[in-house]
Amino acid sequence: MKRLQLYDTTLRDGSQAEDVSFTLDDKLRITERLDDFGIHYVEGGWPGSNPRDEEYFRAVKRSRPKHAKIAAFGSTRRAGVKAHEDRNLQALVHAETPVITIVGKTWDLHVRDDLRISLKANLEVIHDSIHYLRKHADEVIFDAEHFFDGFAATPDYALECVRAASDAGATLLCLCDTRGGSLPTQVAAGVDAARAAVPTPLGVHCHNDCELAVANSIAAVEHGCVHVQGTINGVGERCGNANLVSIIPVLQLKRGIHCVSAAQLERLAEVSRFVYELANLEPNKRQAFVGQSAFAHKGGLHVAAVQKNPETYEHIDPALVGNAQRVLVSDLSGRSNLLYKAAEYGVDLESNKPAVQALLQELKDLEARGFAFEGAEASFELLMQKVVHGDRVRHFKLIGFRVIDEKRKEDEPPIAEATIMLEAPDGQIEHTAAQGNGPVNALDGALRKALVKFYPEIQEVRLHDYKVRVLGGGEGTGAVVRVLIESGDEHERWGTVGVSPNVIEASWQALVDSMDYKLYKDRRGARRRRTDAATRG
């Protein structure tokens, strides 16, 4: 199996994405995760650019990654300044990393119009910078900025630039598609030419402006690059960087190129979610390999087929990348979807024909009223429990709630307040109130405040998403609405649904399902773990 170097730049190029910013603590946690995951190089930041990045390099040295090498990033010296006097290069050396990556111009258009120096002077800039840094770091990677555009415009000059870097002692030359406008055939031709021109190992760094960053990276590796740069989930400047979360499984599972161990690959989905979480971005449901929908089947025919043999509609075994097959329940579902779901939740429906009938009937009735269980699987699991056991899972009884939304003056923000009274399983009555940013938020606050007395784990539940959809539409503001809530704790995310002509009632149903599901699954999990321990003796 061929081996490949993975170079992650989530913390540098990735943090240049719109809406993404990492704190120092985030950066250290991501570094640790990438190290565990088997990434070979972690580019931590640009020490010359801001104090937080300088602090990062001090802190990361103390935390000592197990395998990953930390790289500091910067650019070649300014024209007319000696390399050892250049402040940027000095900052790179002071970061004391084993690897330094510097970016330099290889497209004559940039040299003339941006740097405004002679083509020869730029070759000296590249050479001097690398020659100087080479004395201070084990490895110096040269990022050949705009290499593919430069190669398309003036191939000889682009190659002269990489030759200058190679002669100066760069340990790796990384060819960049910085504008993200190249096509796989152009990338392949550029890599071929660079290979013929220099003996130094080559890498590739692509951007996604034509949605081709992954394809271009794969083409570059097929043509001899031994090093791939990218970011987790493809976050990055403009349309993003090449997505390592796709590149890794493609190379490893489809091309037999070793990137990480099989056990590490199984944590791909988890690493992806972790970075979304810290970047405060909503995960992309439809993301290849790791998205929630990547192995989700909805059509009855598909479901019937994957149950016989998953290969019929799945290009890989989802477990290899830490994902799982899902079957969606909807009005398209037949018996096979229900049986699959039941098995997934450990409910025995196979031997309970009346329950299957009852569940199909209940599902039909609910859907006719506007319920939809795609994206509300937690509500569906509770429904299934109700049908099988004759009663729904219940952790408390509502005695009543009241929501007040008050606006006193036109230019003053409204105040929302909810009070709630409920009865706990031991008969205790709890009466609480909470203010909120709107009536549903206040209701959520009051419900949690009441429940947390009996169930402290409710504190772990976070509300990720709240969606309201008006159904039908004939009756304007009097129409039936469907509320979908997505909640989560540190292990799992789950969706719940509520339907009513009253948006607060619909929200209440979805909120109650969410809390009930959390309490139910924690107890179910504990039960399962106990059984496992008992079996192991």
Strand-pairing partners, residue 408, are none
Tokens of 95: 């970061």
Q: Identify which of residues 101 and 292 has a Cβ nearer to Zn ion in the complex.
A: 101
Closer of 13 and 513 to Zn ion (Cβ): 13
In the numeric block, the tokens 């929302």 are attached to 416
**CB of 243: closest distance to Zn ion in angstroms?**
13
Instruction: Considering the complex, state which of residue 13 and residue 444 has its C-beta at the smaller distance from Zn ion.
Output: 13
Q: How far is the CB of 30 from Zn ion (least distance, A)?
A: 17
Closer CB to Zn ion, 239 or 366, in the complex: 239
Identify each DSSP E strand in 409-449 by its residue range: 415-423, 429-436
Of 13 and 43, which CB lies nearer to Zn ion in the complex structure?
A: 13
Q: Which stretch binds Zn ion (CB under 5 A): 8-16, 72-80, 317-325, 450-458?
A: 8-16
**How many residues are present in the chain?**
537
Contact 250, 214 (CB under 8 A): yes
Q: Taking CB under 5 A as the criterion, which residues in 439-478 touch Zn ion?
A: none
Closest approach of Zn ion to the CB of residue 482, in Å:
42
What is the dihedral angle through the alpha carbons of 288, 293, 297, 299, rounded to the nearest 10 degrees?
-110
Residues 11-40 that bind Zn ion (CB under 5 A): 13
> Distances from the Cα of 17 to the Cαs of 155, 180, 233, 349, in angstroms?
30, 14, 12, 48
Q: How far is the CB of 205 from Zn ion (least distance, A)?
A: 6
Stretch that binds Zn ion, among 9-17, 29-37, 61-69, 267-275 (CB under 5 A): 9-17
CB of 177 to Zn ion, least distance (A): 9
- The helix/strand/coil state of 136 is coil
Question: DSSP secondary-structure letter at 112?
Answer: I
Question: Are 125 and 111 in contact, with CB atoms under 8 Å apart?
Answer: no
Residue 527, both tokens: 């039960």
Is the CB of 231 or the CB of 496 nearer to Zn ion?
231
Q: What is the number of the residue whose Cβ is closest to Zn ion?
A: 13
- In the complex, the smallest distance separating the C-beta of residue 178 from Zn ion, rounded to whole angstroms, is 6
Rounded CA separation 26/277 (Å): 10
Question: Among positive and negative, which fits the CA dihedral 327, 330, 336, 340?
Answer: positive
Choice between 13 and 516, CB closer to Zn ion: 13
How many of the other CB atoms lie within 10 Å of CB of 211? 10
- The number of helix segments (H) and strand segments (E) in the chain equals 18, 18
**Shortest spacing between CB 67 and Zn ion, in angstroms:** 24
Kindly indicate which of the ranges 5-13, 301-309, 333-341, 466-474 contains the residues binding Zn ion, using the contact rule CB under 5 A.
Answer: 5-13
- Report the residue number, 13 or 53, with the smaller CB distance to Zn ion: 13
What's the min distance (Å) between Cβ of 138 and Zn ion? Answer: 23
Give the whole-angstrom CA distance, residue 119 versus residue 105. Answer: 10
CB atoms within 10 A of CB 525: 12
Find the shortest distance in angstroms from Cβ 225 to Zn ion: 15
> Please, is 475 exposed, middle or buried when counting C-beta atoms within 10 Å of its C-beta (0-12, 13-18, 19+)?
exposed
Size of the site for Zn ion (CB under 5 A): 1
Q: Which is nearer to Zn ion, 20 or 294 (CB)?
A: 20
Applying CB under 5 A, the residues found at the interface with Zn ion are 13
